[in-house]
């Protein structure tokens, strides 16, 4: 915790390059939901995440965490402000281009796993590669590699329903990293897991981080947030100095 830099604007990853373009850059970002009464979920947020950084976004419920993740994941558009992903302004992209960016640059891990119950573990991991344009010959090797990476290579032909919660979340992580995204976005990844399996998932995240993946984890669990290299605290739609 003490090693984590606290200034949001200073992009100091493990390997900061002087001219590095931050992986994620939010500038004066506001998202309001039309009322009445109009609700401002995010108010003038400035956040920058460098390539290879491991960031936890924390805050009480209603603080704008989920809105933030939706915007970071290009699932929602900001009302005002700029969002640059890898230096490219996302506001001008069409819906189809945003879908293509999601497919190739972003990986998602959800609280509720979102696995397809009638597909095997391997098929679930293969799913995003349908849309990401991964060369066909590489798809299955990559999926198996990703499953091996999360320690589930002995479960490839199982259905998600037969797996434990921790195993399901590891399948979801494998699915998210199989397309080799630039940024992994995790929304309360341990929310449905007990203490022990949470620890497994967090250890997995740390390994991925050590491999150079950029991670943004949204959580209200302080224990989870503490393991990130930097914490961003949201309160009432604003970034507050980390505790």
Partner 1 sequence: MRVPRSMRGRPGRRVGTGLLPGRRAGTGLLARLPLPRRTGRGASAPDLLVDPADRFRFTDLLGEATADIGSRPGRLVTTIIGTVLGIAALIATIGFAQTAAAQIARQFDTVAATQLVVTPATARTGGGQTVATAALPWDAVARMERLAGVESAALLAEVSLPTATITAVPVNDPSQAPVAAPPVYAASAELLDALGGRLSTGRFFDAGHDERADRVAVLGARAATRLGVERVDQQPSIFVDGIAYTVVGVVDGLDARAELLDAVLLPTGTARADLGLGAPGDVQARIAIGAGPQLRDQAARALAPDAPDTLEVRAPDGRSQLRQDVQADVNGVFVVLSVVVLLAGGVGIANVTMLSVVERVGEIGLRRAVGATGRQIAGQFVAESMVIGLLGGLIGASLGVFAVVAIALARDWTPVVSPWVTVGGALLGALLGLVAGGLPARRAAQIEPVDALRGGT
Residues that bind partner 1 (CB under 8 A): 15, 17, 19-21, 51, 70, 73, 75-76, 85-89, 92-97, 99-105, 108, 110, 112-119, 123, 127-128, 130-136, 138, 145-146, 148-149, 175, 177, 179-182, 208, 211-213
119-124 contacts, C-beta under 8 A, 24 or more apart: 119/159, 119/160, 120/156, 120/157, 120/158, 120/159, 121/147, 121/152, 121/155, 121/156, 121/157, 121/158, 121/159, 121/160, 121/163, 121/171, 122/147, 122/156, 122/157, 124/160, 124/171, 124/175
CB nearer to partner 1: pick between 1 and 131: 131
Handedness of CA 56, 25, 170, 63 (dihedral sign): positive
Smallest gap from residue 242 Cβ to partner 1 (A) = 27
CB nearer to partner 1: pick between 123 and 236: 123
Smallest gap from residue 6 Cβ to partner 1 (A) = 26
CB nearer to partner 1: pick between 188 and 233: 188
CB nearer to partner 1: pick between 43 and 77: 77
Could you give the C-alpha distances from 129 to 123, 153, 165, 214, in angstroms and in order? 10, 18, 24, 19
CB nearer to partner 1: pick between 33 and 222: 33
Smallest gap from residue 1 Cβ to partner 1 (A) = 26
Smallest gap from residue 162 Cβ to partner 1 (A) = 16
CB atoms < 10 A from the CB of 109, how many?
A: 25
Smallest gap from residue 42 Cβ to partner 1 (A) = 14
């Amino acid at each position: 915790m003490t090693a984590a830099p606290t200034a949001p604007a200073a992009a100091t990853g493990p390997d900061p390059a002087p001219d590095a373009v931050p992986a994620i850059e939010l500038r004066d970002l506001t998202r309001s939901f039309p009322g009445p009464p109009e609700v401002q979920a995010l108010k003038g947020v400035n956040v920058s995440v460098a390539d290879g950084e491991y960031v936890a976004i924390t805050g009480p419920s209603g603080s704008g965490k989920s809105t933030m993740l939706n915007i970071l994941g290009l699932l929602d558009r900001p009302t005002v402000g700029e969002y640059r992903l890898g230096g490219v302004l996302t506001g001008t992209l069409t819906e189809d281009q945003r879908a293509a960016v999601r497919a190739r640059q972003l990986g998602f891990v959800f609280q509720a796993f979102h696995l397809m119950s009638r597909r095997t573990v391997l098929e679930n991991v293969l799913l995003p590669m349908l849309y990401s344009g991964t060369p066909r010959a590489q798809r299955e090797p990559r999926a198996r590699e990703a499953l091996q990476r999360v320690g589930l290579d002995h479960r490839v032909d199982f259905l998600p329903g037969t797996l434990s919660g921790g195993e399901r979340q590891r399948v979801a992580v494998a699915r998210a990293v199989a397309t080799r995204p630039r940024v992994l976005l995790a929304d309360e990844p341990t929310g449905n897991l007990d203490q022990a399996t949470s620890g497994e998932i967090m250890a997995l995240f740390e390994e991925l981080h050590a491999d150079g993946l950029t991670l943004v984890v949204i959580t209200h669990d302080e224990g989870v947030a503490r393991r990130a290299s930097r914490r961003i605290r949201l309160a009432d739609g604003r970034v507050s100095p980390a505790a």
